[in-house]
Amino acid sequence: MSEFSMIVTLSVVPEAKDAVRAALQKLVPLTQEEAGCLQYDCHEVDPDGFPGVANTGGDFVMLEAWRDAAAHQSHGVSAHFQEFITAFSKDELQLSVQLLKNA
């Protein structure tokens, strides 16, 4: 697989939200420095949404683009990502991933 993009939605229990936010602030710049990372941006979802449009869920959204599958796999085993993902239980943090294709 060559260059690809994805959206990762993080759903967090309220008690863990501050800790997840702090961990993301550490994770993002380290990931952006990875050789195969083309984009790695974190956004916090506004719980109030846009007037007249309901949010589809989640607390944080990651917009990611990778050079290739190998680059993404390297990210998945990196020390900084493993530190992030193992810091929270499945009851505290759930991820959903959407792989994007050009329309």
Is residue 28 over pLDDT 80?
Answer: yes
d(CA 45, CA 60): 5
Query: Which segments within 1-103 are labelled E, that is strand?
Result: 4-12, 37-44, 60-66, 93-100
pLDDT tens for 45-102 read: 988 878 888 777 899 999 999 999 999 999 999 999 999 999 999 999 999 999 998 8
Cβ(91)–Cβ(11) below 8 Å: no
List, in sequence order, the alpha helices (H) in 46-99.
69-77, 79-86
The pTM assigned to this predicted structure is 0.91
Is residue 22 over pLDDT 80?
Answer: yes
The identity of residue 83, as a single letter, is: E
Here the CATH number for the domain that contains residue 74 is 3.30.70.100
| Number of folded domains that form the chain | 1
**pLDDT for the residue numbered 49:** 79
3-state percent helix, strand, coil for the chain, nearest multiple of 5: 35, 35, 30
Q: For residue 30, what are the domain limits?
A: 4-100
